[in-house]
Amino acid sequence: MKDFEELSSDFSRGDRRKSKSLDAAIDRILDKALVGMEVSEQDGVTLFNANQHDIKKVFSVADKLRERANGDEVTFVVNRNINFTNVCYMGCKFCGFAKKLNQKGSELLSIGDIVLRAQEAWDRGATEVCIQGGLHPKISGDIYRNIILGIKQVLPNMHIHAFSPFEIWFGASKKKLTYTNFLRDLKDCGLGSMPGTAAEILDVDIRKMLTKNKLSTEQWIEIIRTAHSLNIPTTATIMYGHIDSPVHWAMHLATLRRIQKETGGFTELVPLSFVHKESPLYKANPTIVRRGPTLDEIKRMHAIARIMLSGGIDNIQVSWTKLGPKIAQEMLSLGVNDLGGTLMNESISRSSGAEFGQEITASEMVKIIRHAGKVPMQRNTTYDITQNFDNCDPKELTPLIPRNGTNPLEFIN
């Protein structure tokens, strides 16, 4: 405990002398975090509401906890997103991705097309494909297992990170199977892990407004717990900056922490900023729905997630597709230790109005990390290090999708 005590002492001696306006509650909460004590849900609300003076200390503690858990290593994974259908009948109000059946621009990839995209990713060095799609009313429940089997037949060593809890709910319903039996079958086919998307905010009232509670908080948690019980790891997410507030954010993080204590199955947390531009939720309610989180709120979310989840979920990822490379790089000093995936394709954020491209190559990831003063490391899906780029560089690749002149490194420090 000596290092905890020394850090706490340094923190207290330095900042207490500097300002008479130091909020005692913030001080107490951060001291707790530094000595490894759990920060409560109410403590989280207090941190989210910290004034501009105190929030600097919150950021400092988040960075200390990041360094303690991860050192100066910042990781990324070479992967490809494959959104196999954008047809969805659910009509979630925030989503700009979904199309109706037979609507212009709607698509459903064949298994062959999905496998070809996976092969193309493998040839570019990918170790993972991330596969998600809308809830297409005419697909069978077998499509999920068939996608996995198709890829594994050609690429047995490709990690398949696939299918949100909403898709699991949908597929199990189609097959009339329990979540356990449906997920066990997918694992037997070769499913390696699941994205913990479709979480949005794990609050009943908020979910009713966002999705009409079509996948309830209880169902999301049950599916995640079931996956973990079958040794299928998942990510965790929070989608914030719409009709929510710090109370909901702290509750959501506390819920994820509680699940992690029980299962240990989360590999990382990925905060997802609401993108408003093409979102039906915003278009229908522009005076009520926010235009996404502010930069200050983005910083607070990543830092406070690190503090609240410390010792439970120690990988905090920033979504460059939502925020862009420059802001993503800033998060590396606020508790974040992972830049996510190279992606190669990105449809969901773009369809809601995100403007940051579809791919950051491994070479570009390394440059972003180095320019932040950190050590670049390539990982696999479950955070095993596969390549240390401290003293070498990845192979330079031309982006898979032409960028039309955009450069993700243009504005980074």
Cα separations in angstroms, 308 against 17, 145, 364: 26, 36, 31
pLDDT exceeds 70 at position 98: no
Instruction: Concatenate the DSSP letters of all residues of 117-155 into one string.
Output: HHHHHHHTT-SEEEEE----TT--TTHHHHHHHHHHHH-
Per-residue confidence (pLDDT) for residue 19, from 0 to 100: 47
Q: Six-digit token pair at 211?
A: 């999705």
Q: Where are the alpha helices (DSSP H) in 38-110?
A: 41-48, 52-70
pLDDT exceeds 60 at position 407: yes
Strand 191-193 relative to strand 159-162, pairing: parallel
In this prediction, residues 15-22 reach a mean pLDDT of 45
pLDDT exceeds 80 at position 345: no
Q: pLDDT for 164-193, tens place per residue?
A: 999 999 999 999 999 999 999 999 999 999
Average pLDDT over the chain, rounded to an integer:
88
Give burial (CB, 10 Å; 0-12/13-18/19+) of 183: buried
pLDDT exceeds 50 at position 16: no
pLDDT exceeds 60 at position 273: yes
In three-state secondary structure terms, 157 is coil
Whether residue 351 contacts residue 278, with contact meaning beta carbons closer than 8 Å, is answered with yes
Whether residue 157 contacts residue 116, with contact meaning beta carbons closer than 8 Å, is answered with no
In what helix (H) or strand (E) does residue 376 lie, and over which residues does it extend? strand 375-379
Q: For residue 273, which phi and psi values (nearest 5 degrees)?
A: -70, 135
Q: What is the DSSP letter of 215?
A: S
Q: What is the DSSP letter of 400?
A: S
pLDDT exceeds 70 at position 357: no
Relative orientation angle of helices 52-70 and 24-34, to the nearest 10 degrees: 0
In three-state secondary structure terms, 316 is strand
pLDDT exceeds 60 at position 62: yes
Considering the chain, what percentage of its residues have pLDDT values greater than 70?
Answer: 84
Q: Six-digit token pair at 331?
A: 């998060």
In this prediction, residues 313-328 reach a mean pLDDT of 95
Q: Six-digit token pair at 395?
A: 């192979």
Per-residue confidence (pLDDT) for residue 208, from 0 to 100: 82
Q: pLDDT for 244-258, tens place per residue?
A: 999 999 999 999 999
Distance, in Å, from the CA atom of 318 to the CA atom of 99, rounded to the nearest integer, reads: 27
Per-residue confidence (pLDDT) for residue 355, from 0 to 100: 55
Domains in the chain (CATH in brackets) are: 2-70 (no CATH), 73-388 (3.20.20.70)
What's the sign of the alpha-carbon dihedral 70, 71, 77, 83?
Answer: positive
Q: How many CA atoms lie within 13 A of 251 on its CB side?
A: 15
Distance, in Å, from the CA atom of 382 to the CA atom of 385, rounded to the nearest integer, reads: 9
Question: pTM for the complete prediction?
Answer: 0.89
pLDDT exceeds 50 at position 29: yes
In three-state secondary structure terms, 26 is helix
pLDDT exceeds 80 at position 281: no
What's the sign of the alpha-carbon dihedral 119, 120, 126, 130?
Answer: negative
Considering the chain, what percentage of its residues have pLDDT values greater than 90?
Answer: 71
Instruction: Give the position of tokens 């530094």.
Output: 34
Per-residue confidence (pLDDT) for residue 221, from 0 to 100: 97
Range scoring the smallest mean pLDDT among 134-143, 185-194, 205-214, 232-241 = 205-214
Distance, in Å, from the CA atom of 50 to the CA atom of 25, rounded to the nearest integer, reads: 10
